[in-house]
Amino acid sequence: MRIRKLFHIPKGKKYKGKNRLYIPPQTGNVSWYHICLLGSSVIPKVYFPVIIFCLWSAILKVVYDKYEGQKFIDILFFPVSLVTFSATVMSLLLVFRNNSAYDRFWEGRKAWGNIINQARNISRHIWIGINIDESDKNRDEKLNLKKGVMRLVIALVISIRHSLRGEFGWDYDDLAELVKHVPRFNSLITTAPKQVLKILPLEIAYHIEGYFYLQKDIPISLINPTYAALNSIIESYTVCERILTTPIPLIYGIHIKHVLIVYLLTLPLQIIKTCGWTSVAIVGLVAFIFLGIEAISSEIENPFGMDDNDLELEEFCQQIQIEINGIMRYFPSSIGLLDWLECEEIEEENSDALAVDIDEVSEDNVEISSIKKTLTIIKDGLYNRSRKLTRREKRKFSLNENDNNENPAADNP
């Protein structure tokens, strides 16, 4: 408190409400009410097979009760010890299947994270690095081209989303308005052959790179990272295509389903002797667990769809669109930055904000006198430092310490 009063530092204010940072919800935390969301669970996908296996268990229980004691019953309903070995093998297969599917899901998320990151970098390089002279008679036309290529960056991200979902062409509500300024895409009706429409993201990247190639006055230090960012987006798009077009081998998926069906069909034969009618519920529970794990693996191995458990690609595209539109609307371009770099004189009140009226401090106290000298040094140092920040007086300004020592009563510069 004493230092704050000496240096006249205003007390900070606590702002609440509209300027707080938005923290997205923790979607990974599953609450109790989520158990009622059947559409996002595996129940719609596995309930019918579970019912079938429960009915199969009930039929076997009826057969066992009717022919109990006969020799073929002892042969058909074999010991319970086989449950442990078969369940272990089945669990290992399902764990490997689930891990492989989630690796594909996470790799797709990392690829889209890189797409968003590099789109931000490209838009920043365009908006700051491409200079448009205010005195240029074609200033408005060049500014429109600059904004047009910023929209193409948004269109590139959105076209990747459409392409991964098999939606070829540019006649979509969220894409047509972003590319119609390019003569190649000035029609809202797609007429190009399918082979051309499949490479729409590459074609948009071609137009973005062509725009940069025509800007001859851009420094190499800016062109290289821009090209690298554009190449990185195409590389991430290729990674997503690899995930999409390289599913889990069919023979592996078929074998897992065969093993799972055989296990669930033979499970009642192993537990009916000891569990009775309870074996029907046990088989239903085991079938729900194992079939659910297999259904989850099939659900997430293609993360680019429109299911509830797929990646939120619409939100990713909307996010980058809002950010780039915000840059064009609120952020200054290279022209506006000139006002930041060519500063006028820094007002002396900025350096005097930390000034202290030292004359009010009593000279009788030795401790306060030492504080006075320290504050004087800090004041002079801050003042001289602020003066050095002024370009117009950078060469004119000089401090003669010898004169200050000889004339202690002289005013500070």
End-to-end CA distance of the chain: 30
Closest by alpha carbon to 119, among 242, 231, 202?
Answer: 231
Query: Which phi and psi (to 5°) does residue 166 adopt?
Result: 75, 20
Give the Cα separation of 80 and 13 in Å (integer): 71
Structure tokens at 395: 């060469």
The predicted model scores a pTM of 0.69
In a 10 Å sphere around its CB, with 0-12 CB exposed, 13-18 middle and 19+ buried, how is residue 37 labelled?
Answer: exposed
Amino acid at 332: P
Structure tokens at 82: 């086989």
Cα separation, 46 vs 43, in Å, equals 5
CA dihedral over 155, 157, 160, 164, signed as positive or negative: negative
> Tokens 């001289």 map to which residue?
384
Asked if residues 239 and 111 have their Cβ atoms less than 8 Å apart, the reply is yes
H or E element: which one contains 33? none
Looking at beta carbons, which pairs linking 16-19 to residues 24 or more positions away fall under 8 Å?
A: none
Whole-number pLDDT of residue 33: 65
pLDDT of residue 27: 54
H-assigned helices in 28-80? 43-66, 71-76
**C-alpha atoms less than 13 angstroms from C-alpha of 208 in its C-beta half-sphere:** 32
Residue ranges of the chain with pLDDT lower than 70? 1-34, 38-39, 79-84, 186-197, 333-413
Token look-up 């004119």 returns 396
Distance CA 156, CA 178 (A): 9
